[in-house]
Amino acid sequence: MISFPPGIILFLGAVLLPLMPRRVRSAAFLIFPAFTFFWLICLNPGDSLSVHFLDYSLVVSRVDQLSLCFGYVFALITFLGGIYGYHLKDTAEQVSTLFYAGSSLGVVFAGDLFTLVFFWEIMAASSVYLVWARGTSLSRGAGLRYLMVHLFGGSVLLAGVLVQLTQTGSMLFTYMDGGLGAYLIMFGFCLNAAVPPLHAWLSDAYPEGTVTGSVYLSAFTTKTAVYALARGFAGWEVLAWAGAAMAVYGVIYAVLENDARRLLAYHIISQVGYMVCAVGIGTATAVNGATAHAFAHILYKALLFMGVGTVLYATGQSKLTNLGGLARAMPLALAFYMVGAFSISGFPLFSGFVSKSLVVHAAGLSHMGLVVLLLNLASVGTFLSTTLKLPYFTWFGQKSSVQPSPVPPGMYTGMALTAIACIAIGVYPSLLYRILPFPVDYQPYTAHHVIETTQLLVFTGLGFWLLIHQMGVKALISLDCDWFYRKPAQLAYKICVASVSKLFGKVEHVTLFLTQFAIRGSANPIGYLLRAVRLVEQPKSNIIEVNRQLQEYDPDQYRITVGVMALIMLFVFIILIAWSLLAS
């Protein structure tokens, strides 16, 4: 069966949406991801669409079980996010969202590297508006840095594609065996996956996005990178260790964080670490684990951002030091948030339990004991920060003076549906396992696994309760890798902008002087030149004084007529010709 790229449906929606009456745009927004999901269900592994471009055959749509799994959840979260943001009146934000989701689907179904890069760049350009749309000075700065980082990553990716094309002669996006092109491509993918130290753009930009925009940001960019790594770099061991370190790194910063959305942003880094680690292990079980965890993560992380976003919408605050005591005023937001928190922490009967454990199981089968230890340590930190610290200081703890405003019903509806999906996957793992790339031979609900997980979480909770006074949040800023390019910003401005501008000013001044000299001197070249020499010979003269006096100089005083100048030039020309003839 011939299959056009599913993302085209969302692109069509982005084009048509502004043409519709404003009162129906939010409802119309939901039609396009719903139709996309229906179209994905109709596709079968093996369907494809190829087009000829120059001397190459581009596979603009390639359907297999890996791409379908990511496609399902991308369409699903676009729909759920549309319900959550049903109140949204910013048409530009809705259009950007559809382009963002559509380009993410374009990456997932791209069968060649040219198509992948094409959609990759659209993804970066469309997603940045979700940061800028918030309209604050912080969002403008974060959005600009986000865009610059992703344009840089896209440039490296494109360079890798060109090198790969030169080395192999093929544009197909398949497993990479190595070489300079493969390493450049992996660098571009790792940047979008937020692998440290290439991660700071995420924790910088995602907390500054709009309430609805951050939900989408948490879903697409890093997961398309996980898909791309799984497609091209499964089994590269360096990714296994990078992912394990990434899982712990993100958790450490999350535990220290005061801003609720920045805390969740660091947990994206940590949870994507599980996926990158699984890709690096590279076995069928590990790739299943990376795919399953990406699917579950998109849902529960969106739910977490929805819960915190609801608080931000109602109170205008996202810092834990400014919140507290909201449990009675916003009980639904708390309840739905906790479903996401239990999911990300890997509680039994929640989605994270059946996906995260599959990654750890794959690491155990590959006899990577240290990786298993690091992933379990990251689980402790996740439970500590997302399930205990954040909800305690937001909904409980010391009551703040903030009075929440009413919340649109669509926000609660979107959270409820996303929470149901998280629970459904946790209770019925086969809903997820049956769509994974490889057959699954794993049972998460064994007595040993349930007891082990429960013990880990219970003792972590006990430790938090006993040390709750030492766990108090503080209004501090944690320095991250972005310090290295943000701290010297003023120095870079002086060197790259101010000094260059000053140099251009000097060049402009000299050019103006030479231009005036040429214009005025053309009227009386000899007299003007003699006058200039006399002015320069004056003591304490400078170019500004000379220029001023030359402007005051009247060339008519020693004017040489055009005819006389022509005769002089002709005479000089004849002398030069005669001299050359005599010399020869």
Mind listing the pLDDT tens digit for each residue in 195-231? 988 888 999 899 999 999 999 999 999 999 999 999 9
The alpha carbon of 560 is separated from its chain's Cα centroid by a whole number of angstroms, namely 69
Position 109 scores a pLDDT of: 95
Q: State the pLDDT confidence band at 179, using cuts at 50, 70 and 90.
A: confident
Residues β-bridged to residue 112: 172
Q: Which residue range is the domain that position 535 belongs to?
A: 489-557
Q: State how far the Cα of 473 lies from the Cα of 393, in Å rounded to an integer.
A: 8
Please give the helix or strand (H or E) that residue 532 lies within, else none.
helix 525-537
Count of the separate structural domains present in the chain: 1
Residues 260/208, Cβ–Cβ less than 8 Å:
no
Residues 297/319, Cβ–Cβ less than 8 Å:
no
For helices 284-315 and 260-281, angle between their N-to-C axes, nearest 10 degrees: 170
30 in a structural domain: no
542 in a structural domain: yes
Work out the burial of residue 537: count CB atoms within 10 Å of its CB; fewer than 13 is exposed, 13-18 middle, 19 or more buried: exposed
pTM for the model stands at 0.83
Which of 59-63, 154-158, 513-517 is predicted least confidently? 513-517
Q: State the pLDDT confidence band at 256, using cuts at 50, 70 and 90.
A: confident
Q: Convert the pLDDT of each residue in 419-440 to its tens digit.
A: 999 999 999 999 999 999 999 8
The residue among 4, 5, 14 whose CA lies nearest residue 82 is: 14
Asked whether the predicted pLDDT for residue 510 surpasses 80, the reply is no
Q: Can the peptide bond before residue 5 be classed as cis, meaning omega within 30 degrees of 0? A: no
Asked whether the predicted pLDDT for residue 482 surpasses 80, the reply is no
397 in a structural domain: no
Position 397 scores a pLDDT of: 76
Asked whether the predicted pLDDT for residue 469 surpasses 90, the reply is no
Asked whether the predicted pLDDT for residue 537 surpasses 70, the reply is no
Asked whether the predicted pLDDT for residue 129 surpasses 90, the reply is yes
Residues 341/391, Cβ–Cβ less than 8 Å:
yes
Position 490 scores a pLDDT of: 67
Q: Convert the pLDDT of each residue in 379-401 to its tens digit.
A: 988 888 888 889 988 898 777 77
DSSP state for residue 234 in the 8-state scheme? T
521 in a structural domain: yes
Percentage of the residues of the chain whose pLDDT score is greater than 70: 85
CB atoms within 10 A of CB 152: 14
- Helical H runs in 193-283? 200-205, 213-217, 221-232, 237-256, 260-281
Asked whether the predicted pLDDT for residue 104 surpasses 80, the reply is yes
Asked whether the predicted pLDDT for residue 243 surpasses 70, the reply is yes
State which amino acid sits at residue 268.
I
Q: State the pLDDT confidence band at 570, using cuts at 50, 70 and 90.
A: confident
The residue among 161, 93, 159 whose CA lies nearest residue 130 is: 93
Position 519 scores a pLDDT of: 63
416 in a structural domain: no
483 in a structural domain: no
Position 322 scores a pLDDT of: 86
Q: State the pLDDT confidence band at 454, using cuts at 50, 70 and 90.
A: confident
Position 465 scores a pLDDT of: 76
DSSP state for residue 400 in the 8-state scheme? P
Position 475 scores a pLDDT of: 63
Position 263 scores a pLDDT of: 93
State which amino acid sits at residue 267.
H
Position 547 scores a pLDDT of: 59
Residues 123/153, Cβ–Cβ less than 8 Å:
no
288 in a structural domain: no
281 in a structural domain: no
Residues 280/242, Cβ–Cβ less than 8 Å:
yes
Mean per-residue pLDDT over the chain, rounded: 86
Which has the higher per-residue pLDDT, 278 or 533? 278
Percentage of the residues of the chain whose pLDDT score is greater than 90: 56
Q: Convert the pLDDT of each residue in 305-330 to its tens digit.
A: 999 999 999 998 888 888 888 888 89
